[in-house]
Structure 1
Amino acid sequence: MKAWPVVPLRSVLRTYIDAVPSNQLDTVNLAGVYGFGRGLFQRGPISPLDTTYKSFHRLNAGDFVISSPKAWEGAVARIPEEFDGWFLSSVFPTFRANSEALDTRFLDWYCKRDAVWRQLQGKAKGMGARRESVSPDQFLSLEIPLPPLPEQQALVARLDALAEKTRQVEAHLEAAERDAERLLRAYIFHPPGEQPAKRPMSELVSQRQPDVIVDRTAQYRFAGVYSFGRGVFPSVVKTGSEFAYERLSTVRAGDFTYPKLMAWEGALGVVPPECDGMVVSPEFPVFSINTDEVLPELLDIYFRTPEVWPELAELSGGTNVRRRRLQPSAFLTYEIPVPSMATQLKLREVFRRTQALKAKHAAIRQANAALLPATLERLFAGSA
């Protein structure tokens, strides 16, 4: 590839602030700028009276914007058409290109690289990593390799096409996984040829009491449970002196657990092998599963289903929505459909195939996510 001339950004880009006094605005559609080259996002309408800003920066499609406090971690972006006329606060300077020399879409792609963010960090001023700030002059002092405008536009077209392909791959993977999850849930809610009877959880699981007496000098590896059906995961390691609980509960692979406080928003799950032998606090009731009656896979799939969570919310006591607790006594009265063991065994087989599929998808996602950054490095790193 022919080397491109390296030019200071200020030779093709200038600061262009479209400031509007707050007292001239009744309402403001406020935007934000994501870090790590992920573009703009919508915060929504606000009243200028609810802020201390004397003015707002109006956004114009095709211009470029940076977050002065966060530019060094990739909060820089081209303003797309859908944000034309939106606003940002005064810590977001905006810039306009010489359209005969620079296509801001090219600059946008160039600035999605962590090598650029490191350069901006080197220019940033302030006290402490979280207070570093990039001024307009510091941003404009950035030197970039700049091909002729037609070549910029051709590169943008290639990169846009590649980005669309990676998006399509991700959408395909997500669709396949949604279909697999629908099939799994059909074995519980609509199994072919049978109408499963509802049974209380008290017939399917047994609560175990805390079995670990805390040693204040010992270390404990905790398990946690994500909300929104994302399951049980390895969490923090703490010394006994770091918490007040006198007892903890050991969890074993195949157990069922949930945090009382967050169960109503889908924080329930079966303990996976990687969490075997970890501990949870007394705020996490732990249950052994009666596998003669129900397979762990059925419980895991059922309680990851979003339509189930409102029912758990109704069982959860508390005066404040964020303080609701699902007590074990209430949970054990909850009834779920339990199909025949033959159907459950079919569900288990489909579940295992689905897990294998997701593992393959994870590898594809990793490669897919690395494709654009690698392409950008090949295009720009050796182009100067």
Structure 2
Amino acid sequence: MKAWPKVALGELLRRADETVLIDPEQEYHEVTIKLWGKGVVSRGMVRGSDVVAVRRMVRANQLILSKIDARNGAIGMVPAELDGAIVSQDFPSFEFQDIERCDPAFMGWLVRAAPFVELCKAASEGTTNRVRIKEERFLAQQISLPPLTEQQALVRRLDTLADRVRQVNAHLDAIEQGIGAMLLSLHHRFADNRVRRLGDILDLHEDPVRVTPDCEYPQVGVRGFGGGLFAKPAVMGTETSYKAFNRLYADALVLSQVKGWEGAIALCPPELEGMFVSPEYRTFRCRPDESCPGYLGELMRTPWFWSLLQEATRGVGARRERTRPEQFLNIELPMPKLEDQRKALNILSRQTQLTAHHTVIRNANDALIPATLERLFAADHG
């Protein structure tokens, strides 16, 4: 393969500094950026009268990054639907100086690649918890830039792959929605008119462990929308400001106080027992004579249950308050007796093998784009 010439980002990009005169009567999208190349999205609508700090306006096809989290892949292209949205000073944006030299769509794929994230790390500096990207250092970083026609060919190839990934995930989603519908049908049929508070069937049960500087604490996160728990890298006691972590135990129901309203709640599997979550994650234990952990774990993966969490959490959109344990335990819902929970779980267990197979397919499918980007944009290419 022919070597691609090296080009400094500053030759391709220039800082965009469009100021915005905030109208107190208008509503604006606020921009945020997901980590690890997951995209530029709206944080939610904000009324002009609620904007207290200086804001800038961003435009479609500008490159935008988070000063704090660019080193964690918080960088991407502003989509068309967020043209005219507002951002804080912590989210600098850049426009392209010459689209005949660099296709914005090509850059949109490039910044999602692991080598580019390493480039952002190299452009960042600061002490623990205060590391920020330096714009002048970022713009001085060099990338390998193919000719425009080759850029466009790569974009077509990656767009086609992304479309296929979406199609597979949509097919799996449809099947799993059918399983979820079956669960809710069984749930309401077995519950009949029996209503319980979550506080009648669950207890707040936490195992706090004091943080010490010389100890390492393997971390766990909770994905939103029923995505479950996942292991994260360990942190040393010297790397956190928390005074204590909550230690997980098997069959704990783990609730994110910050994102519980969007389905960030899950059952702890045995393989994550003994790992740690921050105090922002609360753990609950099933009362053995009232509830079955496996059943509640399945129920809490449904959009119906997330709607109950939303109703229990005050605020609007991304400005919702934390879901406090007392709010969570005060939720009322139809609830079958324990023996009926077990019956429903037994019926659902016939789908377990299919769901596990779907998980393998989904994980392999989701790994396709990162693996392809790694291969196409290897740090030593050219």
* Structure 1 unmatched runs, 5+: 211-223, 237-241, 244-250
Matches within 5 A, 1:99-178: 99-128=99-128, 130-135=130-135, 137-178=136-177
- Structure 1 residues 10 and 375: CA distance shift in structure 2, 3 A: same
Q: Which residue of 2 aligns with 1:67?
A: 66
Q: CA shift at 1:188, angstroms?
A: 4.1
- Structure 1 residues 102 and 305: CA distance shift in structure 2, 3 A: closer
Q: Scaled by the length of structure 2, what TM-score is found?
A: 0.65
Contact 1:269 1:299 in 2 (8 A): no
Q: Which amino acid in 1 is paired with 2:126?
A: G
Contact 1:185 1:301 in 2 (8 A): no
> CA RMSD for the aligned pairs?
5.1
DSSP-derived class of the 1:69 partner: coil
**Number of corresponding residues:** 333
Match of 2:348 among 343, 347, 351: 351
Q: Which residue of 2 aligns with 1:213?
A: none
Any idea what the Cα deviations from partners look like across 1:292-321, whole Å, max 9, x if unmatched? xx9886666567666578899999xxxx99
- Structure 1 residues 143 and 190: CA distance shift in structure 2, 3 A: same
Q: CA shift at 1:288, angstroms?
A: 3.0
Q: Which amino acid in 1 is paired with 2:119?
A: Q
- Structure 1 residues 199 and 121: CA distance shift in structure 2, 3 A: closer
Q: Which residue of 1 aligns with 2:239?
A: none
For 1:304 and 1:169, locate their aligned partners in 2 and report how far apart those are by CA, in whole Å. Answer: 20
Q: Which residue of 2 aligns with 1:221?
A: none
Q: Which amino acid in 1 is paired with 2:148?
A: L
Q: Which residue of 2 aligns with 1:379?
A: 376
For 2:265 and 2:132, locate their aligned partners in 1 and report how far apart those are by CA, in whole Å. Answer: 41
- Structure 1 residues 48 and 8: CA distance shift in structure 2, 3 A: farther
For 1:298 and 1:229, locate their aligned partners in 2 and report how far apart those are by CA, in whole Å. Answer: 14
DSSP-derived class of the 2:36 partner: coil
Contact 1:257 1:287 in 2 (8 A): no
Any idea what the Cα deviations from partners look like across 1:195-241, whole Å, max 9, x if unmatched? x865688xxx9999x9xxxxxxxxxxxxx99998789999x9xxxxx
Q: Which amino acid in 1 is paired with 2:7?
A: V
- Structure 1 residues 133 and 289: CA distance shift in structure 2, 3 A: same
Q: Which residue of 2 aligns with 1:83?
A: 82
Q: 150-159 vs 62-71, which deviates more?
A: 62-71
- Structure 1 residues 275 and 97: CA distance shift in structure 2, 3 A: closer
Q: 108-117 vs 41-50, which deviates more?
A: 41-50
Q: 71-80 vs 94-103, which deviates more?
A: 71-80
Matches within 5 A, 1:32-51: 32-43=32-43, 44-47=45-48, 50-51=51-52
Q: Which has the larger radius of gyration?
A: 1
Match of 1:324 among 319, 323, 326: 326
DSSP-derived class of the 1:127 partner: coil
Matches within 5 A, 1:206-285: none
Q: CA shift at 1:323, angstroms?
A: 6.0
DSSP-derived class of the 2:287 partner: strand
Q: Which amino acid in 2 is paired with 1:109?
A: W
Q: Which residue of 1 aligns with 2:53?
A: 52
Q: 372-381 vs 26-35, which deviates more?
A: 26-35
Q: Which residue of 1 aligns with 2:214?
A: none
Contact 1:58 1:86 in 2 (8 A): yes
Q: Which amino acid in 1 is paired with 2:366?
A: A
Q: CA shift at 1:272, angstroms?
A: 6.5
DSSP-derived class of the 1:324 partner: helix
* Structure 2 unmatched runs, 5+: 206-220, 235-242, 276-282, 313-321
Q: Which residue of 1 aligns with 2:215?
A: none
DSSP-derived class of the 2:99 partner: coil
Contact 1:258 1:284 in 2 (8 A): yes
- Structure 1 residues 350 and 106: CA distance shift in structure 2, 3 A: same
For 2:77 and 2:94, locate their aligned partners in 1 and report how far apart those are by CA, in whole Å. Answer: 9
Q: Which amino acid in 2 is paired with 1:51?
A: V
Contact 1:120 1:134 in 2 (8 A): no
- Structure 1 residues 225 and 166: CA distance shift in structure 2, 3 A: closer
Q: CA shift at 1:179, angstroms?
A: 0.5
Matches within 5 A, 1:289-368: 289=289, 307=304, 322=324, 324=326, 336-337=335-336, 347-368=344-365
Q: CA shift at 1:286, angstroms?
A: 4.8
- Structure 1 residues 170 and 186: CA distance shift in structure 2, 3 A: same
Q: CA shift at 1:159, angstroms?
A: 0.4
- Structure 1 residues 25 and 101: CA distance shift in structure 2, 3 A: farther
Q: Which residue of 1 aligns with 2:96?
A: 96
Any idea what the Cα deviations from partners look like across 1:124-152, whole Å, max 9, x if unmatched? 233335332221x2222221111111111
- Structure 1 residues 29 and 271: CA distance shift in structure 2, 3 A: closer
